[in-house]
């Protein structure tokens, strides 16, 4: 994967790689089942403070790279016409002032400095957020503390929590199921693939009850369509309970269409060639 700029580099350092398995199963949250839309209120993006514009009316505008102008995505590439690369990692609310994410998002020596980032809720496509992404100032939270995380790839304990500066009101902490998954179990994910506004990714299944990297007994493998910046995304079972956190994958975020001289999302591949790995949620009991 080529690095396009220093600004863009920070996104890649904190992320898994990616690709699409079979068909592209990413959907706008507004098109998801009602219960998933409700859950989405408790999903946050980690965003650089310098990408926020604060307005006097109590709103905050989210800014980022243009997929087409800055990253040369093709005009017909999904989601890229009006959305921007804004998010840096994905997270979910599990206590009133605690979010869950991937450990490498806060690893020691990474680009993520808690003082330079905030957690932003409601970064998603709505009727009012079509071309610009504007949220209430009450949806933005400072990051107060996180465990030092010395991540040694590939590792098998890539999960962490971040304390927020205040309790999150009017949003419910998400339910957790510590029971480990079984092969063939259907799963879905909420997060920010390659910095896009929040997406609901369905049609995912557990391929293996363990990971592929080394002796990865604390991870399971799936065929979810995952991308960089999906790192930290909560993965749910069909009872809408968090069962794991996306931490790594294989494949490319995008690839060049040589005929049109522009980029499109990572090619459609077989689960045998591409997979994503999810840390089991019971790892947070060990922190």
Q: Number of folded domains in the chain? A: 1
Kindly tell me the burial class for residue 3, based on how many C-beta atoms sit within 10 Å of its own C-beta (0-12, 13-18, 19 or more).
Answer: exposed
**Residue 267 pLDDT exceeds 70:** no
Q: Is the pLDDT of residue 15 over 50?
A: no
In a domain? residue 8: no
What is the per-residue pLDDT across 201-250, written as a single tens digit (0 to 9) for each? 999 999 999 987 666 899 999 999 998 899 999 999 999 999 999 998 77
Phi then psi for 65, rounded to 5 degrees?
A: -75, 145
Asked if residue 90 is part of any domain, the answer here is yes
What pLDDT does residue 177 have?
98
Q: In this structure, is residue 1 part of a structural domain? A: no
pLDDT (tens digit, 9 = 90+) per residue, 98-156? 999 998 888 655 556 788 999 999 999 988 776 789 999 999 999 998 776 655 545 57
The structure tokens listed for 271 are 């689960």
Q: Is residue 204 part of a domain?
A: yes
Show the domain range for 224. 14-286
Q: Classify residue 6: in a domain, yes or no.
A: no
CATH classification of the domain holding 261: 2.40.10.120
Is residue 89 included in any domain, yes or no? yes
**Beta strand pairing call for 43-48 and 89-95:** antiparallel
Q: What digits encode the pLDDT tens for the residues 37-71?
A: 999 999 999 999 999 999 999 999 999 999 999 99
Q: Which residues contact 229 (CB under 8 A, 6 or more apart)?
A: 11, 14, 15, 87, 88, 89, 90, 191, 192, 193, 194, 195, 196
Residue 23 in domain? yes
Give the per-residue SS3 of the chain.
CCCCCHHHHHHHHCCCCCEEECCCCEEEHHHCCHHHHHHHCCEEEEEEHHHEEECCCCEEEECCEECCCCCCECCCCCCCCCCEECCCEEEEEEECCEEEEEHHHHECCCCCCHHHEEEEECCCCCCCCCCCEEEEHHHEEEEEECCCECCCCCCCCCEEEEEECCCCCCCCCCCECCCCCCCCCEEEEEECHHHCCCEEEEEEEEEECCCCCCCCCCEEEECCCECCCCCCCEEECCCCCEEEEEEEECCCCEEEECCCCEEEECCEECCCCCCEEEEEHHHHHHC
Query: To 10 degrees, the CA torsion angle through 142, 44, 96, 14?
Result: -70
For residue 7, tell me if it sits in a domain: no
Q: Average of pLDDT values for 257-265?
A: 93
């Amino acid at each position: 994967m080529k690095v396009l700029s220093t600004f863009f580099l920070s996104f890649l350092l904190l992320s898994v790689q990616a690709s699409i398995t079979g068909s592209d199963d990413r959907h706008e949250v507004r098109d998801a089942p009602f219960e998933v839309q409700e859950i989405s209120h408790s999903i946050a993006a980690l965003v650089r403070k310098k990408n926020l514009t604060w307005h006097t009316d109590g709103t905050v505008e989210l800014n980022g790279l243009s997929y087409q102008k800055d990253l040369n995505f093709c005009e017909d590439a999904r989601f890229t016409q009006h959305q921007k690369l804004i998010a840096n990692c994905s997270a979910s609310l599990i206590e009133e002032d605690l979010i869950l994410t991937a450990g490498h998002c806060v690893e020691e020596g990474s680009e993520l400095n808690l003082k330079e980032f905030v957690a932003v809720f409601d970064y998603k496509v709505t009727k009012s957020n079509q071309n610009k992404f504007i949220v209430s100032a009450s949806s933005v939270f400072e990051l107060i503390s996180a465990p030092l995380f010395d991540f040694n790839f590939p590792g098998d304990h890539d999960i962490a929590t971040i304390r927020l500066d205040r309790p999150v009101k009017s949003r419910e902490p998400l339910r957790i199921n510590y029971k480990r998954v079984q092969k063939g179990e259907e799963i879905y994910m909420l997060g920010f693939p390659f910095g896009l506004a929040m997406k609901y990714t369905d049609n995912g299944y557990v391929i293996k009850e363990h990971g592929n990297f080394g002796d990865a007994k604390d991870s399971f493998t799936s065929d979810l369509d995952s991308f960089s910046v999906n790192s930290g995304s909560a993965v749910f079972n069909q009872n809408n309970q968090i069962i794991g956190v996306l931490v790594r994958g294989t494949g490319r975020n995008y690839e060049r269409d040589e005929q049109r001289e522009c980029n499109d999302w990572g090619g459609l591949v077989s689960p045998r060639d591409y997979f994503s790995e999810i840390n089991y949620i019971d790892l947070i009991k060990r922190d």
